[in-house]
Structure 1
Amino acid sequence: MGIVKLRRNFHEAKWEEPIIFELSNEGERGILVPLDDRLEEEVGDGISVIPEHMRRKEPPRLPEISQMRVLRHFLRLSQETLGADLNIDIGQGTCTMKYSPKVNEIFVSSPKVTELHPYQDEETVQGALEIIYKLDSFLREISGLDRFVFQPGGGSQAILAMASIIRAYFRKRGEERDEIITTIFSHPSDAAAPAVKGFKIITIYPDPETGIPDIEALKAAISRRTAGMIVANPEDTGIFNPRIREFCNIVHEAGGLCGYDQANANG
């Protein structure tokens, strides 16, 4: 008996889904939380613990929407998602679309992780500290760097930390350097975060022949105001810049620092 193989062509779902604010209906609610007089007596007025200058003058503009509408909205959006969990990955290098093992979700959703508090007694968080210590050791061995900091909670915050360090470094030295160099295909945070810290951003473009950032453009961008360079490598195109050492040397020779965005290294 022959085996018949059927070719199944993939078809992405297509919804004309509005943004969630357009689904809002005044007065509609997902959950109505009952007031608890006993809780209020015990805790007091929750607003009173917020400093007055931090309180909202007006309520936040949130959509008023039922649970079912929310479920359908995000389910439809998920059906339009293109990524490794559903089909072939798209041709970008950025780590956002990589496959993350689902077993990891079990670990990070454990109360042993989610309920940790930064002010806990160190004796009660030795397991978490051990994980941080071992990860620091692994990364130092791989990279050759002296130390890692795990304070930033994500990629953009890490870039902001880099920009803050660069700014503090030159302020301490009394040098007026206010320019950061990046590349057009680095992650947008590599430009946005330094801009938030007050730096002027200089963006260099790739060589049209190779697709690699143009080293001559880098040399032209260097000046006495160069504080540093923050780039992703591989870039968001997935292309690794093999001349990155030369790039760093040029910046270092000008007295600048280099921030290396490794978001795409695990893509």
Structure 2
Amino acid sequence: GAPVAVGPSVKMSKSRKNVVDPERIIADYGADVARWFMLSDSPPERDVEWTAAGVEGASRHVQRVWRLLHAALPGLPPHGSAPEDGAEALALRRATHKTIAGVTADIEGFAFNKAVARLYEFANALARAPEAAPAARREAFEAFALLTAPMTPHLAEEMWAALGCPGIVAEARWPVADPALTRDDTIRLAVQINGKRRAEIEVAADADAAAVEALALADPDVARILGGAAPRKVIVVPGRIVNVVA
């Protein structure tokens, strides 16, 4: 036959014979995968560029989450167990509650592609979740089931049932992020000298301006550029940047 020519992306049209049958996609991959891919590709105001690779990637994600859950199930405590207090548990709980806050804001703003991106990241966090923090892992998996429900409701319900949670996801309360777990203990600030970025420092999130200024001036790169001379002015913009006027 004639060679196949790959042209520019165009809208689906019967006259162009480039229509993708959703029934076939659903039959091959399931409704969850089709929905996940369509929501993940672009914001609502933009067209979706349909690709077979994208659908297959969505399918791999759904299967991966299911495998992660079943691998973790034997080590998870009962529903309602209090999370541990250790450092590993705290790190996972921070990831969980930051994801809850982010996905909630994304869905409320109709930024479904951003919500999907956060859940991809959260799945990676679940894959790295320490076995030494089983209750925190359970909290994370339960949160994932609730957060993914608007995009992949069938996966969410299967996860919820496998976790032994009461009722069904469709009737469960939406998770609420704990503000204490969404705040970072430390933040990174850029340091500019005469308008040029020269360094980056890590400071406590609640550090005052004097402490931030001291850390900025003590940075080796800043000290080298200043050459022992005192700056004429230091302007600290809380949570954003430090401007040094030499």
TM range (shorter): under 0.3
Compute the TM-score of the two structures, normalised by the length of structure 2: 0.24
More helix by share: 2
